[in-house]
C-alpha cells in the first residue's frame, strides 16, 4: 500500500499512527555508490523535507507529480543504492523514515540526537552496528519551521572490527582525550601555532617524542580544535594489526587509506618489517593520501633518544612537518602535574585531595619519568592509594618511584640485550634482579624493600642470597 499523505505538525513532519513512509529495507544487497552520490541523495531528501514542512504536500496536475510520488521515487533510489534515510527533530523523534528496521531506526535517531550540538551541514558520523559500521551523513533543514535533521544511512560493507583500526566521532575523541593522563593534566592546552598551521594546511605531520609523551593525545587535540571535527577520526595502530587487518588496510576499498576528508592518525611504525613499511608508504604516496585526508603520524624515540629509522623514512617520503612532544622531565614541575592528577582522583572518588611535602615534591621533580604521562598516571594512582587524604612524604614518594624503576617497558615493545631486565630469561633470575634494584634504590633498607615488593623479609633474604652466589 502506498504511503498516505504526510501532514505537518507544529514541531515536525509525522506520519499518521500505524503508517511508515515508504518503508524499504536499507541493506538489501544492492550495489553501493561513491560518496559523492550520498551527498546528492541527502540534498534531494533535504529539499523534499523542506518543501513538505513549508507548505504541506500539495498535489499537482499535468506532468508534475505530487510529493507523495516524489518521495516514493526517492525511496526506491535510496534502496537501489543500498542506503536509507530518515529525518529527526531536536529531541530525536523520527519525522520521516525509509527504514523498516524500527529498532535500528531508533538507535540511529538516538545516536545522532546525542551529537546534534556538533552537527554542521554535511557532517559525517560513524556508528558501530552488528560488528560492522554505518556511515551517517547529517544535514540540518527547515530550521524556520522547527529544526529538522536529515540523516542518510549507508552500511559500509565488508567492514568488521579490526584490532588496531578505530573509527571515532568528535565526541568519542574528546571523551578519550579528557580521560587520558595527558588530557587530565594539560586540559585543553593549545598546541603550538606552527603545528596547528601545518595541520590546517593539510601537510602530513609527524609527532615524535619519548614513550608516553602524549603524541596520540596531541593528535586528538589538533583534530578537536581544527576545522575537520565534523568528519571521522581514524586511529591506526600498526603494531596491533593482525595479518587480516594488514590486508584490509592495504587492499580493502573500505580501508581508511582509500577514504576522503578523514583525519587519519597512524602510529606503531616500529613494528613494521622493511617490506611492509615500503608497501604502506608507497600506497600512501601513490594514492595521494595527504591530498584526500588530514594525516597525523606518531612515533616514539629510540632508546636513549633520537629518531628511529622507520620514522625517518616515513618523514622523508611523505615530506612531513615534524614536531617533538616535550618530555615531562624537560618541562619541569612534575610534582604539580602529579598534584593535579591527585586532585582529579579525589573528585572522582569524592574524597579530600592528598597533599605533598616539599621533600616529596622535590623527589618527584628530580625523577627522570622515562614513560612520561603513562608513568605519571601510575605514580599518582599509587600515591592516592597509599596516602589517601593525608600527606605524601618523601619516603612514600621514593617507594612508589622504586616500584616504577623495576618496570622496564622497552620503548619499542621488544627486549634489548643491554636492558637491566631482559625478559627472555628464567623467572627466578628476573625476580632476583627486581629485588636487587629495589634494595639498591632504598639504600640497602631491606625491611622497606620487602614491604614495597609485598614479600616477607625471609623471601627477600633468600633472593639476595641467591644473587650473591
* Mean pLDDT calculated for residue range 218-227: 91
- 425-469: CATH superfamily: Homeodomain-like (1.10.10.60)
C-alpha cell, 233: 577520526
pLDDT digits (tens, 9 = 90+) for 286-296: 999 999 999 99
CA 283 to chain centre: 23
Q: Which CATH architecture has domain 330-411?
A: Orthogonal Bundle (1.10)
Report whether 301 contacts 208 (CB < 8 A).
Answer: yes
Closest to 149 measured CA to CA, from 46, 237, 226: 46
pTM for this prediction: 0.69
Class (C level, CATH) for 7-156 = alpha beta
Max avg pLDDT among 107-116, 156-165, 413-422, 439-448: 107-116
List CB contacts of 254: < 8 A, sequence separation 6 or more: 156, 157, 158, 159, 248
Residue whose entry in the numeric block shows the C-alpha cell 513532519: 13
DSSP one-letter string for 326-370: PPHHHH--HHHHHHHHHHHHHHHHTSPPPEE-HHHHHHHHTS--T
Number of C-beta neighbours around residue 401 at 10 A:
19
Strand order from edge to edge, sheet including 123-129: 94-97, 83-89, 148-156, 132-141, 123-129
Bridge-partner residues for 325, per DSSP?
Answer: none
Domain ranges, ordered by start, for the chain: 7-156, 165-326, 330-411, 425-469
CATH fold of the domain at 165-326: Rossmann fold (3.40.50)
Judged against a pLDDT cut of 60, whether residue 59 lies above it is answered with no
Judged against a pLDDT cut of 90, whether residue 203 lies above it is answered with no
CA distances from 77 to 4, 26, 70, 74, 150 (A): 19, 11, 11, 5, 16
Judged against a pLDDT cut of 70, whether residue 312 lies above it is answered with yes
Number of C-beta neighbours around residue 319 at 10 A:
10
Cα 31 from Cα 17, distance rounded (Å)? 33
What pLDDT is stored for residue 447 in this prediction? 82
Cα 438 from Cα 446, distance rounded (Å)? 9
In total, the chain counts a number of residues equal to: 469
Amino acid at each position: 500500500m502506498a504511503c498516505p499523505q504526510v501532514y505537518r505538525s507544529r514541531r515536525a513532519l509525522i506520519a499518521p499512527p500505524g503508517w511508515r513512509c515508504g518503508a524499504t529495507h536499507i541493506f538489501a544487497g544492492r550495489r553501493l555508490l561513491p560518496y559523492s552520490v550520498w551527498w546528492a541523495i541527502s540534498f534531494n531528501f533535504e529539499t523534499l523535507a523542506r518543501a513538505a514542512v513549508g507548505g504541506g504536500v500539495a498535489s499537482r496536475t499535468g506532468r508534475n507529480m505530487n510529493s507523495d510520488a516524489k518521495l516514493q521515487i526517492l525511496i526506491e533510489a535510496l534502496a537501489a543504492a543500498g542506503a536509507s534515510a530518515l529525518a529527526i527533530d531536536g529531541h530525536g523523534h523520527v519525522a520521516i523514515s525509509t527504514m523498516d528496521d524500527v529498532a535500528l531506526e531508533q538507535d540511529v535517531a538516538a545516536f545522532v540526537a546525542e551529537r546534534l550540538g556538533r552537527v554542521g551541514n554535511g557532517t559525517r558520523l560513524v556508528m558501530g552496528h552488528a560488528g560492522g559500521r554505518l556511515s551517517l551523513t547529517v544535514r540540518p533543514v527547515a530550521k524556520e519551521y522547527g529544526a529538522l535533521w536529515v540523516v542518510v544511512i549507508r552500511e559500509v560493507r565488508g567492514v568488521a572490527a579490526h584490532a588496531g583500526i578505530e573509527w571515532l566521532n568528535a565526541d568519542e575523541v574528546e571523551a578519550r582525550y579528557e580521560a587520558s593522563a595527558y588530557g587530565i593534566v594539560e586540559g585543553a592546552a593549545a598546541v603550538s601555532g606552527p603545528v596547528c598551521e601545518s595541520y590546517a594546511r593539510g601537510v602530513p605531520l609527524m609527532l615524535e617524542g619519548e614513550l608516553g609523551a602524549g603524541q596520540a593525545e596531541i593528535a586528538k587535540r589538533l583534530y578537536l580544535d581544527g576545522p575537520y571535527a565534523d568528519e571521522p577520526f581514524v586511529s591506526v595502530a600498526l603494531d596491533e594489526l593482525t595479518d587480516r587487518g594488514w590486508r584490509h588496510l592495504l587492499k580493502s576499498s573500505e580501508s581508511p587509506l582509500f577514504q576522503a576528508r578523514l583525519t587519519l592518525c597512524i602510529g606503531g611504525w616500529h613494528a613494521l618489517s622493511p617490506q611492509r613499511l615500503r608497501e604502506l608508504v608507497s600506497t600512501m604516496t601513490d594514492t595521494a593520501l595527504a591530498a584526500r585526508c588530514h594525516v597525523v603520524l606518531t612515533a616514539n624515540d629510540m632508546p636513549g633518544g633520537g629518531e628511529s629509522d622507520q620514522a625517518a623514512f616515513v618523514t622523508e617520503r611523505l615530506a612531513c612537518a615534524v614536531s617533538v612532544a616535550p618530555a615531562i622531565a624537560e618541562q619541569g614541575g612534575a610534582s604539580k602535574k602529579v598534584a593535579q592528577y591527585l586532585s582529579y582522583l579525589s573528585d572522582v572518588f569524592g574524597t579530600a585531595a592528598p597533599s605533598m611535602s616539599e621533600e616529596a615534591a622535590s623527589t618527584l621533580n628530580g625523577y627522570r619519568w622515562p614513560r612520561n604521562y603513562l608513568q605519571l598516571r601510575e605514580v599518582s594512582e599509587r600515591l592516592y592509594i597509599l596516602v589517601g587524604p593525608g600527606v605524601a612524604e618523601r619516603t612514600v614518594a621514593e617507594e612508589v618511584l622504586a616500584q616504577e624503576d623495576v618496570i622496564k617497558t622497552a620503548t619499542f615493545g621488544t627486549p634489548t640485550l643491554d636492558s637491566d631486565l631482559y625478559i627472555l630469561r628464567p623467572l627466578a633470575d628476573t625476580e632476583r634482579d627486581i629485588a636487587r634494584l629495589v634494595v639498591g634504590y632504598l639504600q640497602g633498607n631491606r625491611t622497606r624493600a620487602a614491604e614495597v615488593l609485598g614479600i616477607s623479609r625471609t623471601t627477600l633474604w633468600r633472593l639476595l642470597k641467591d644473587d650473591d652466589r
